[in-house]
Structures are given as C-alpha cells and as structure tokens.
Amino acid sequence: MAQMAVLQHQVAIMAEKEISYGLAAAALGLTSGMGGIGKFCFGKMADLFPIRWVVTSSYLLQCLGIFILLNVGSNLTIWIYAMIFGFGMGGILVLQPLAVGQFFGLKSFSVLLGIISLGQSCGAAIGAYSAGLIYDHYHQYHPALITFLIIYSLAMTSILITGKPMMKRCLND
C-alpha cells in the first residue's frame, strides 16, 4: 500500500516541494533503476542472512527514503531519496516469495502467494487512491507520507515478531 502510493505520487510530491517536473521525472527513473539493483542485492542478502532481517531492512530503507522525501531541501536530497527508496523498494519483490516459502513451507506455497498477491494488489490500489484523497483533503502530501511511515513501522514490527521460519520443514515438503 505505502510503496505503491509513494511511487505513484512521487513526481507530484516533489512538485509540491517546488522541484521541477524534469528533475522529479528523472528521480522517478532513478528510483526505478535502483529498484532493479535492489532486487539483485536483496536476493543475495536473503541467501546470507535471516529473511526477517532482510525484509525489515528493505522496509527500513523505504522508511528512510520517505523521511528524506518529507524533508527534501535540495537537489542532492532528491537523488539520495531516489537511491535509498528505490533500492529498498526493489527488495520486496524478490523477498516476498522467499519469505512465504520459508515461513509456511512449499505445500501451500502457490495458494498462499496467490492470496498474498491479491491482497498486495488491492493494497497498492487503495494506497495510491488514498494518497490522492488525503492530498485532496489536506492540500498537501505530508499527512499521507506520515501515514505510510506508520504502515511501514507496523509491517516491520509484524515481520520481527513472527516465529522462526520453517526452513528445515520447507526443504522436506
């Protein structure tokens, strides 16, 4: 929800902060490019570290990116935001199936991933729409971005308090 809302409204958020549309569009391109790099790096990190910490770090980078976006003051901060948020954003795409497999095993993997993907798609639509509604009501994106920081915090907390993955059982399924 939060990731897609920020991504969909990124150019408008920057324009609200009096950043030129050209620079905002270039930052969107960098955000997407960093997402591609994040996919590779987070995939490798998932091989080396516990999945809950890797997922949490992906969310944490996105939070840091939103915090920077809230406080954009120069062109440099826009580039820093794009690199950090984009890199973290890329991680979730590769980590989600890995986390489902490690936490729930392979017997119901496709069903669970399908249900999660449906929820994720609905959340992405609701997030982008709600960011627009919040902007229409408050005439600024600040309340939406704060809301998304809270959502990321809840996501990180839920990942960190989950039980241990069923790694051994996953391999035997």
Please, what sign has the CA dihedral across residues 35, 11, 61, 59? negative
Please give the C-alpha separations between residue 123 and each of 43, 109, 128, in angstroms, as whole numbers: 23, 20, 9
User: 149: closest CA among 75, 78, 83, 64?
Assistant: 64
Region 56-64 average pLDDT: 96
Domain 2-172 - what CATH class?
mainly alpha
CB-count exposure of residue 14 (10 Å: 0-12, 13-18, 19+): buried
- Is the model's pTM score more than 0.85? yes
- Residues 71-87 pLDDT 10s: 988 899 999 999 999 99
Region 1-10 average pLDDT: 92
The whole-angstrom separation of Cα 169 and Cα 58 is 26
Structure tokens at 15: 């324009």
- Residues 12-27 pLDDT 10s: 999 999 999 999 999 9
Tokens 């989600």 correspond to what residue? 96
Cβ atoms within 10 Å of 127's Cβ, excluding its own: 23
Domain ranges of the chain: 2-172
Phi then psi dihedrals of residue 57, to 5 deg: -65, -35
Region 80-106 average pLDDT: 91
- Residues 136-168 pLDDT 10s: 999 999 999 999 999 999 999 998 888 777 654
The whole-angstrom separation of Cα 56 and Cα 4 is 17
Region 113-132 average pLDDT: 92
